Amino acid sequence: MDFSSLCLLFLTLYSADGFLEYDMHRCLFNSSDMKDIEYIYSKHYNKEEVIRFSSSLGKYVGYTKFGVMAAGYWNKDLEGLRERRADKERLCKTNIDLDYLNILTKSVKPSVMIESVTSSGGHHPAMLVCSVYDFYPKYIKVSWLRDQEEVSSDVTSTTELEDGDWYYQIHSHLEYTPRSIHARVREEQTCHRSFRTDSGSGLVSGWIHLLQEEGPRSVQFKPVQSGSVQRGFLSVCQLRLQFICSCRQTFFLI
């Protein structure tokens, strides 16, 4: 499993004579194991870092003249040094366990809308838009398949966009030229999306069969258990849209 570096941040602020002093406590981690956690305490004055303690070094390091003097003094205070080292478990471990329990191991499956729109001056006369809404966490892959093969050309996608309420959305556009094969069945497209969750291995899939209809229309689709079918209409003669959800949670760099 790939892991990312996550960070908890605690700030203590002081202000006097127009200068701002603050203490910063950071917890960098990629799992809840103590060996994968680094605790960093730093003191800043007037936007400049003066001194820092990191659990990986186990001591203070100064970054200014005063900070070097303070580091030398504080590193000789063995009791204070033991207390600062204990902050790794007191501050970091406790809060990280809560984050994993309540946030980091949670996931929300998206709702998906497929829409046929007019191509805006591209190389093809038709365009499909695959819009994925209300999913968490943010890391998701949206791709298009044609005849069971992934389409890499004429595809543009947005980055994951924040909704401002923990949820994300993403939009993928596919330009294409319908193929005339039969008066009723002219084109087959497959929109494939993979989504990592923490619920173990498995697939969540659904199919939409779209028949010929005058004028473009959109179809709302929510991933359901395999075998469930919903029907709707688009201007393209027949489309087959298959969404595959790969249920595995992965943490990435933030």
Q: Locate CATH 3.10.320.10 in the chain.
A: 6-104
Task: Tell me how far the alpha carbon of residue 154 is from its chain's centroid.
Answer: 24
Task: Tell me how far the alpha carbon of residue 80 is from its chain's centroid.
Answer: 39
Q: In this predicted structure, what is the pLDDT of residue 52?
A: 97
CATH topology for 111-246 is Immunoglobulin-like (2.60.40)
Quick check: 2 pLDDT over 70?
no
Q: Locate CATH 2.60.40.10 in the chain.
A: 111-246
Angle at 141 between CA 154 and CA 146, to 5 degrees: 45
Give the C-alpha separation, 158 to 169, whole Å. 9
pTM: 0.49
Mean pLDDT of the chain: 69
Q: In this predicted structure, what is the pLDDT of residue 10?
A: 56
Beta strand 229-234 with 203-212 is parallel
- Please write the tens of the pLDDT for every residue from 70-114: 999 999 999 999 999 999 999 999 898 988 888 777 888 888 887
Q: In this predicted structure, what is the pLDDT of residue 68?
A: 97
CATH topology for 6-104 is 3.10.320
- Of 4-18, 30-44, 172-186, least confident by mean pLDDT is 4-18
Task: Tell me how far the alpha carbon of residue 206 is from its chain's centroid.
Answer: 23
Q: In this predicted structure, what is the pLDDT of residue 79?
A: 96
Quick check: 23 pLDDT over 80?
yes
202: number of Cβ within 10 Å:
11
94: its two tokens: 């406790």
Give the mean model confidence (pLDDT) for residues 58-62. Answer: 97
Cα dihedral 206/207/208/210 (nearest 10): 170
- Please write the tens of the pLDDT for every residue from 111-147: 888 777 777 766 777 788 888 888 888 888 887 877 7
| CA distances in angstroms from 105 to 111, 203, 212, listed in the order given | 20, 18, 43
In the chain, how many H helices and how many E strands?
3, 17
Q: In this predicted structure, what is the pLDDT of residue 198?
A: 36
Q: Is 37 within 8 Å of 27 (Cβ atoms)?
A: yes
Give the C-alpha separation, 192 to 131, whole Å. 12
Give the C-alpha separation, 112 to 104, whole Å. 23
Q: In this predicted structure, what is the pLDDT of residue 151?
A: 77
